[in-house]
Amino acid sequence: MHTDPLSAQFAALADPTRRAILARLSEGETSVNDLAAPFAMSLPAISRHLKVLESAGLVSRSRTAQWRPAKLEPLAMKGVADWIDQYRHFWESSFDRLDAYLKSIQSGSDDGSRH
């Protein structure tokens, strides 16, 4: 099971329906019914997708009467972005610079067989 937040967040993002929900929520808080409308999928299915997003911290819920609108929680997404930024220089450097970087690390100290 996924106990670490990053795994939960990546897993939550690994589904097109959930990513579409997030895109929709980036335009504002929305009820489950409205969120479900564009999808050829039952309401309980959307409800469960929201639960996954909520467990990952990517979304929060509130209550107004019988509605439980979902709202984007961008800080969780920032956690994901921060992890990926570790690798940013790998694609932002020119290939020559990347190559040089890799070589400088490899020839630094050890044979690379352990942590």
> Which residues are near a copy of itself by CB under 8 A?
2, 4, 6-8, 10-11, 13-16, 19, 22-24, 26-28, 30, 34, 37-38, 72, 74-75, 77-78, 80-81, 83-88, 90-91, 98, 102, 105-106, 112-115
Cross-strand bridge partners of residue 105: none
Q: Side chain identity at 54, as an amino acid letter?
A: E
Phi, psi (rounded to 5 degrees) for 67: -90, 145
Closer CB to DNA, 61 or 93, in the complex: 61
* Residue 84 interacting partner from a copy of itself, DNA, none (CB closer than 5 to 8 Å by kind): a copy of itself
Cα–Cα distance between 11 and 53 in angstroms, integer? 9
87: burial class by Cβ within 10 Å (0-12, 13-18, 19+)?
exposed
Closer CB to a copy of itself, 42 or 85, in the complex: 85
Report in angstroms how near the CB of residue 22 gets to DNA at its nearest: 14
Phi, psi (rounded to 5 degrees) for 94: -65, 160
Contact 93, 78 (CB under 8 A): no
Report in angstroms how near the CB of residue 107 gets to a copy of itself at its nearest: 9
- Interface residues with DNA (CB under 7 A) are 1-2, 11, 14-15, 17, 31-34, 40-45, 47-52, 61, 63, 65-69
